[in-house]
Amino acid sequence: MDLIVKDREHILVEVKSSVSRGDVYELWRIGKLYERVEGIKPKLVVVSPYIEDTAKKTAEKLGIETYTP
């Protein structure tokens, strides 16, 4: 997990070789914890060469951006 802070925007980035639906939910829970502790809602991003179809749909539903080649 990486944290980027740019222009007052906090971005949590997860870089993985492959992403499953469980990985998406884990990032979402980490984002909720970060918001509760820091008081700032972070933007959530997943970067991976392979994202399962169910994971991509779940990410869209939860508002998590996905980036694949």
**Considering the entire predicted model, what is its pTM?**
0.91
pLDDT tens-place string over residues 5-27: 998 899 999 999 999 999 999 99
CB–CB of 12/42 below 8 Å?
Answer: yes
No. of helices (H) and no. of strands (E), the chain: 2, 4
Alpha-carbon gap, residue 3 to 23, rounded angstroms = 17
Q: Which helix or strand (DSSP H or E) is residue 36 part of?
A: helix 21-38
pLDDT in the model for residue 35: 97
Alpha-carbon gap, residue 35 to 49, rounded angstroms = 28
Query: Mind listing the domains of the chain with CATH numbers?
Result: 2-67 (3.40.1350.10)
- Would you call 55 helix, strand, or coil by DSSP? helix
